Each structure stands twice: as C-alpha cells, then as structure tokens.
Structure 1
Amino acid sequence: MLEWLSQPWPWYVAGPLIGLIVPLLLLIGGKSFGVSANLRHLCAAVLPTRVDFLRYDWKRQGLWNLTFALGIVLGGFIAATLLASPDPYVHISEATRADLAALGITDFRGLVPSEFISWKGLTTLPGLIMVVLGGFLIGFGARYAGGCTSGHAIMGLADLQLPSLVATIGFFIGGLIATYLILPLIL
C-alpha cells in the first residue's frame, strides 16, 4: 500500500479528486478552499484585538481552515518521511534540467534546488531575493488578491467568480514574466 501511495498519481485520478473537494466544501457548510487567510486567523487568535482587521470570530470563520492547513503540514511530513523515494533525485525532463543548468542550478537532489533554498543558499543574494523577498511578495499578493493561487484557481473558478478568473490569468502572466524575464536576471 505504501509503495502504491508513494508513486505519482495520474492526472485523471488526482485532478478529479482535487476537483471534487470544491463541491464537497460547498455542500458541507459553504466553506471555501484556500490557505492564505490562515495568517489572519492565527494573528486573530494570538494577538490582542486592538487591530480592527483582526477583530472577528476567528473560531467560527477560520478554525476549520486552520485544521485544513495543519493537515497539509502533517501530510507533507508523512509524504516526506514515510512515502519518500529512496532515490534522492527529482525526476524532471532533460529539457528542464538543461534550462536550469544554464541558470546555474545543478543540484537536483531533494524537492527544491539547494543552491538557494538552504541555509547556505540564503546567505547569497539570489537566495535572499528568492526566499525572503519572494516569500513576502507571495504573502502580500495573496492577501491583496483576496486569496492565493489555489483558492482562486480551484475554488473561485469552480464557483464561477470573475475576479478569480482575472486573478488566475494574472498569476499565469506573472509566472511567465518571472520565469523568462526576472529569474534569468536573478540567477
């Protein structure tokens, strides 16, 4: 069973399973899919409520979402420890490997390139830009857009929301700009 779970699932199995989450969430109480609001829920739970933005019933609005985020973290831990492949290399296409090598990324062990996603990589300018500045921009952008890529692309599009379509198109355009214009400048 563990071997079957540790293999990549085909798109025609994983895609419909992800797609079925949306109607399931709507049917069990009008919940929406997304993770980026959890920072607000955590701050509302922990910080004094002098900030109007954090003055709301976080238990009623966000407890299920915090539980969902905890499940993501636990699922990632289980996948990385119990279901991890003994092969340390990420299997990507040779064309992608060549493109990344041209940008200076040569270590394909683990889930992310250690050239900038590591403590050593964080001390470099590209690593600092990618992790700290990139993380800030992702967090700020998710809150400014009213949700993250998953929330808009999966939940918002399934709910036929025009702002989610606009946001999803913006995510793809931003990804293309980052991949072909910004990333080559940083690396």
Structure 2
Amino acid sequence: MEIIYEPWPWYISGFLIAVTMLLLLLLGKKFGMSSNLRTMCAISGGNKFSHFFTYNWRNDLWNLIVVFGAVIGGFLASHYLSLENDMPQISTHTLEALNNLGIASENHYLPVELFSFETLNVKTLAILIVGGFLVGFGARYAGGCTSGHAISGLSNLQLPSLIAVIGFFIGGLIMVHLIFPLIF
C-alpha cells in the first residue's frame, strides 16, 4: 500500500498520461478543464444570452465526468490517501521566501495566511475576483487552459499550444517574481 501514499515516479504517471492522450486522440476528443465552463453554461441555458453556447453540449459530457473525478479524487487523496501531517516537499529557498512574506511553512497545501476566513478582507476579495477574471479571460483568449494546451495541444503538436504554454510560463514567472511580492 506504500505506493498509494507516495508520489508516483514520472515514468509511471507520464506513461499513464500518454496512454490517456492516445485514447482521447483515437476517439477524436480533446482534453481540457476550461472547456467544461462552456459546457456548464450551455447546459444552464447560456444560449439564450450568447450564440457561443449554442452547440451540442451532450458530446462534451464525458469531460464533465473528468472534472467531477478530479474533485472527488482530490478529496479522497487528501482525506484518505495522505499520511497525517504529511508536508509536501518544498525547496528550502521557497520556504524561506514564504517565511519572508509572512506565510508559515507548516500549513501544508493551504496556508492559513492566504486561505482562511480570518484573512478574508477587501484586498483578498479583490485579488480573488480580479485573479478569477484574469484566469477565465486568459483561458478563453488562449483557446484553452494550461492542462488543455500543455497536455492535449502539445501532444497533438499544435503550434498555438506551444506559444500558449510558453506564455503561461512567462506569465507565471512574472507573477511569482514581480507581482506576488508587491501584493503581499
């Protein structure tokens, strides 16, 4: 049972991702999480407000199962397949940088300094709203999210996905090294 509690080696998880992508390719399906937002809006009657949501959303129901599976799998893994007080391995440089920003390193995946009702104020709410809008806008503008472009698009050798993934990395570096320290 130890293999369940430990991170899987790249050659196992990478192989499983490759097999999944091959199956999706053979079935003519595209993988991506952000496309589910369009499906959910179409199911909810979004076609009454925009023609973008007028399409046969039943063809994409399989992808909603992926989202629900990710949510359920994350819950099961964090509550039943993780050792208690199991801290993720983070580099000492990152731990020092977080401590310098006032974020404790013993808070596991959700630092209470960032993810608690006590810290919810106007600044935090504004960050969440603006960040959510930017992520949603960026995913729509780029024609997909990081998982769709980096996994599905790159495996299909699509140049727009390569450009998007490069943009994701550049944006992430700018956020972490320039904007994040200004916000906190």
AA aligned to 1:43 is C
How many angstroms does 1:129 deviate by? 4.3
Q: Give the whole-Å Cα distance in 1 for the aligned partners of 2:10 and 2:37.
A: 31
Q: Give the whole-Å Cα distance in 1 for the aligned partners of 2:149 and 2:126.
A: 26
Pick the aligned partner of 1:32 from 26, 30, 33. 30
CA contact (8 A) 2:5 2:82 kept: yes
Matched residue pairs, number? 183
Q: Give the whole-Å Cα distance in 1 for the aligned partners of 2:19 and 2:180.
A: 35
Percent identity of paired positions between Structure 1 and Structure 2: 51
Q: Which runs of 5+ in 1 are unaligned?
A: none
Pick the aligned partner of 1:101 from 99, 102, 121. 99
Aligned pairs for 1:1-187 within 5 A? 1=1, 3-27=2-26, 29-47=27-45, 49-50=47-48, 51-60=50-59, 62-87=60-85, 89-123=87-121, 125=123, 127-187=124-184
Structure 2 vs 1, CA of residues 183 and 99 (structure 1 numbering), >3 Å: closer, same or farther? same
How many angstroms does 1:184 deviate by? 0.5
CA contact (8 A) 2:103 2:113 kept: yes
Q: Output the TM-score relative to the length of structure 1.
A: 0.90
AA aligned to 1:24 is L
Structure 2 vs 1, CA of residues 133 and 39 (structure 1 numbering), >3 Å: closer, same or farther? same
Q: Which runs of 4 or more aligned residues in structure 1 lie more than 4 Å from their structure 2 counterparts after TM superposition?
A: none
SS of the equivalent of 2:12 reads: helix
How many angstroms does 1:124 deviate by? 5.5
How many angstroms does 1:135 deviate by? 1.9
Q: Which runs of 5+ in 2 are unaligned?
A: none
The CA RMSD over aligned residues, in Å, is 1.6
Q: Give the whole-Å Cα distance in 1 for the aligned partners of 2:90 and 2:130.
A: 26
AA aligned to 1:176 is L
CA contact (8 A) 1:105 1:115 kept: yes
CA contact (8 A) 1:149 1:171 kept: yes
SS of the equivalent of 2:166 reads: helix
How many angstroms does 1:132 deviate by? 2.5
- 1:14-51, Cα deviation, whole Å (9 max, x unpaired): 22222322112111x11111010111101111125322
- 1:58-113, Cα deviation, whole Å (9 max, x unpaired): 012x1011111111111111111111221153331222100111122114323122
